[in-house]
């Protein structure tokens, strides 16, 4: 498998899932610090000891050791996020918290030491709690101003250190999980379509504003949007199912449309009109949206199936519902595994926008067993190697056979961390095992899994070690 010479191989993490140190050096609380069980809720009054994210995997204190291990695998890029609450603890301050800024200086310097490019997400599911409580999160336009201040601050501070940026993680989740993706405290059951679309619009404007600021402050940087990609197939060739799939795909594509084209597509405007939604647009919003991204990034874990029959479309995993695909196996968490869906996603997005793409999340959440071999602790995670290999083979095909431009690939959770949807440690993605358990016990020691050596080889051979396997 041939990959471009400058292909950015690496892995991805998010501050709230791995940093820990939730209240150190002036950090304020984020919505995740009171969200101990993930999407299953509840939202607690205060941080509670059962919230694994408060300690995470303690990257905050172990970043040197961790980055050294990533470098050992040959990482060219490391996707991480900045915790907004380390920089602006409440979110609305005039001046930033110097200790927070200094922490990321150290992290980026450490990456630089090994020639690893940081790819930084500005907002990865962690709106400051104060803004969530005071303004109901991104339902309020006030957040645009606060976010712009935060973005300007970090662009200015890190302009010589960070050349790749992303705005909002999985921005299309805002309509499904408004607390996680936008800090909206009001339960989704009480939100009107107008509330949800307005929240989305406010994030769109903030995202485009961040693009504009990034281009002004760091002219040689590249900034992208980030969406969750769930390519949806018709459950059957019945034309009504094909239309159902088309509509499901539009619900996702509308997010990349706005970022890559700079305006709302007609089908999107009609959808809102049909729902009786009239957005509060301020003067200048349309102009700001014209600040389009330099590339499109996305997470890819699964595909979906759509059916015109509502009964058939129940029960898939992750955040989007859809019918189960009878041809695919699923992970232990019910996420259906579909490597070819990644090639399909790459082609769909590249055809539509002719813009470079970056796969910034992909991976298998699985239960790992730590064993001892010749006196060394490790995990024989062949299932993870197979999953990653098969997905990367499809990326290679998209590049070599279909002509898609792909900038890089950062697999999710390159070092074990707390999961986002279920807030547990047991669902592991990493090449590096972290000794921490769902009940909070564990030494936090790190161990190299079998996949660690496999990925090292894949990177060293620039994809040459990937194998096309029979399915």
Q: List residues with catalytic annotation.
A: 170, 361
Question: Is residue 283 packed enough to be buried (19+ CB in 10 Å), middle (13-18) or exposed (0-12)?
Answer: exposed
d(CA 1, CA 302): 23
Helix (H) or strand (E) holding 373: strand 371-373
Q: Is residue 299 close enough to count as binding ligand BGP by CB under 6 A? A: yes
Smallest distance, ligand BGP to C-beta of residue 252, A:
13
Query: With CB under 6 A as the contact rule, which of the stretches 59-67, 204-212, 412-420, 447-455 interacts with ligand BGP?
Result: 412-420
Task: Tell which one of 8, 9, 11, 14 touches ligand BGP (CB under 6 A).
Answer: 14
Judged by CB under 6 A, does residue 297 bind ligand BGP?
Answer: no
Q: Which of 427, 446, 448, 456 binds ligand BGP (CB under 6 A)?
A: 427
Provide the token pair at 392.
């990367």
Residues 356/408, Cβ–Cβ less than 8 Å: no
Question: Please, which residue, 288 or 423, has the CB nearer to ligand BGP?
Answer: 423
Per CB under 6 A, 207 contacts ligand BGP: no
Among the candidate windows 68-76, 145-153, 235-243, 418-426, which touches ligand BGP by CB under 6 A? 418-426
Cα–Cα distance between 445 and 412 in angstroms, integer?
Answer: 20
Q: Which of 300, 305, 308, 301 is nearest to 316 (CA)?
A: 305
Determine the interface stretch with ligand BGP among 20-28, 231-239, 253-261, 415-423 (rule: CB under 6 A): 415-423
- Does position 362 interact with ligand BGP (CB under 6 A)? The reply is no
The alpha carbon of residue 255 and the mean position of all alpha carbons in its chain are separated, in whole angstroms, by 14
Among 32, 123, 140, 169, contact with ligand BGP (rule: CB under 6 A) = 169
For residue 424, CA distances in Å to 84, 386, 418 come to 23, 23, 5
* Smallest separation, CB 17 to ligand BGP (Å): 6
Tokens 């299309």 belong to residue = 172
Task: Report the residue from 19, 110, 117, 170 that binds ligand BGP according to the rule CB under 6 A.
Answer: 170
Candidate list 421, 430, 432, 454; residue touching ligand BGP; CB under 6 A: 421
Work out whether 224 is an interface residue with ligand BGP (CB under 6 A): no
- Tell whether residue 381 is a contact of ligand BGP (CB under 6 A): no
Out of 365, 396, 430, 463, the residue judged to bind ligand BGP by CB under 6 A: 365
HSE-up of 92 (CA within 13 Å, CB side)? 12
d(CA 471, CA 360): 25
Out of 140, 232, 307, 419, the only residue in the binding site for ligand BGP (CB under 6 A) is 419
Dist. CA 456–CA 462, nearest whole Å = 10
Q: Using CA atoms, how far apart are residues 346 and 351, in angstroms rounded to an integer?
A: 8
Nearer to ligand BGP, 58 or 309 (CB): 58
Written as one string, the DSSP assignment of 263-298 is S--HHHHHHHHHTT----PPTTHHHHHT---SEEEE
For position 81 contacting ligand BGP by CB under 6 A, the verdict is: no
* Residues 6+ away with beta carbon under 8 Å from 224: 164, 165, 166, 167, 293, 294, 295, 296, 297, 358
CB 409, min distance to ligand BGP, A: 15
| Minimum separation from the CB atom of position 224 to ligand BGP (A) | 14
The yes or no reply on residue 412 touching ligand BGP (CB under 6 A) is yes
Of residues 101-160, those binding ligand BGP (CB under 6 A): none
Q: Which is nearer to ligand BGP, 299 or 303 (CB)?
A: 299
Tell me the sheet residues that pair with 165.
120, 223
The residues binding ligand BGP (CB under 6 A) are: 14, 169-170, 228, 299, 361, 365, 412, 419-422, 427
């Amino acid at each position: 498998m041939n990959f471009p010479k400058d292909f950015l191989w690496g892995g991805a993490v998010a501050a709230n899932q791995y940093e820990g140190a939730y209240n150190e050096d002036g950090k304020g609380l984020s919505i995740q610090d009171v969200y101990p069980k993930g999407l299953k809720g509840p939202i607690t009054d205060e941080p509670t000891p059962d919230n694994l994210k408060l300690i995470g995997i303690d990257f905050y204190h172990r970043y040197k050791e961790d980055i050294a291990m990533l470098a050992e695998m040959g990482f060219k890029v490391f996707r991480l996020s900045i915790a907004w609450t380390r920089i602006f603890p409440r979110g609305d301050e005039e001046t930033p918290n110097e200790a927070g800024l200094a922490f990321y200086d150290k992290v980026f310097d450490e990456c630089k030491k090994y020639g690893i490019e940081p790819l930084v997400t500005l907002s990865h599911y962690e709106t400051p709690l104060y803004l969530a409580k005071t303004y109901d999160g991104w339902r309020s336009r006030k957040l645009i101003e606060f976010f712009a201040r935060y973005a300007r601050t970090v662009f200015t501070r890190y302009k010589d250190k960070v050349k790749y940026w992303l705005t909002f993680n999985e921005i299309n989740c805002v309509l499904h999980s408004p607390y996680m993706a936008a800090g909206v405290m009001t339960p989704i059951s009480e939100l009107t379509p107008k509330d949800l679309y307005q929240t989305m619009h406010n994030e769109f404007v903030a995202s485009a504003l961040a693009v504009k600021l990034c281009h002004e402050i760091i002219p040689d940087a590249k900034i992208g949007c980030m969406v969750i990609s769930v390519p949806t197939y018709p459950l059957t060739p019945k034309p009504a199912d094909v239309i159902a799939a088309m509509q499901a795909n539009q619900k996702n594509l509308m997010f990349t449309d706005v970022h890559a084209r700079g305006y709302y597509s007609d089908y999107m405007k009609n959808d809102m009109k049909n729902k009786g939604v009239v957005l509060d647009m301020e003067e200048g919003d349309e102009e700001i949206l014209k600040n389009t991204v330099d590339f499109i990034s996305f997470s890819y874990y699964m595909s979906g199936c759509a059916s015109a029959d509502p009964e058939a479309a129940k029960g898939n995993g992750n955040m989007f519902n859809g019918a189960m695909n009878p041809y695919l196996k699923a992970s232990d968490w019910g996420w259906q595994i579909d490597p070819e869906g990644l090639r399909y996603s790459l082609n769909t997005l590249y055809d539509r926008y002719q813009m470079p793409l970056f796969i910034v999340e992909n991976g298998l959440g699985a239960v790992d067993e730590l064993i001892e071999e010749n006196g060394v602790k490790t995990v024989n995670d062949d299932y993870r190697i197979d999953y990653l290999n098969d997905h990367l083979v499809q990326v290679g095909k998209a590049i070599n056979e279909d002509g898609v431009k792909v900038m890089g690939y950062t697999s999710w959770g390159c070092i074990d961390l707390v999961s986002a949807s279920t807030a547990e440690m047991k669902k592991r993605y990493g090449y590096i095992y972290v000794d921490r358990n769902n009940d909070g016990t564990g030494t936090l020691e790190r161990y190299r899994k079998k996949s660690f050596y496999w990925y090292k080889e894949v990177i060293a051979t620039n994809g040459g070690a990937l194998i096309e396997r029979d399915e």
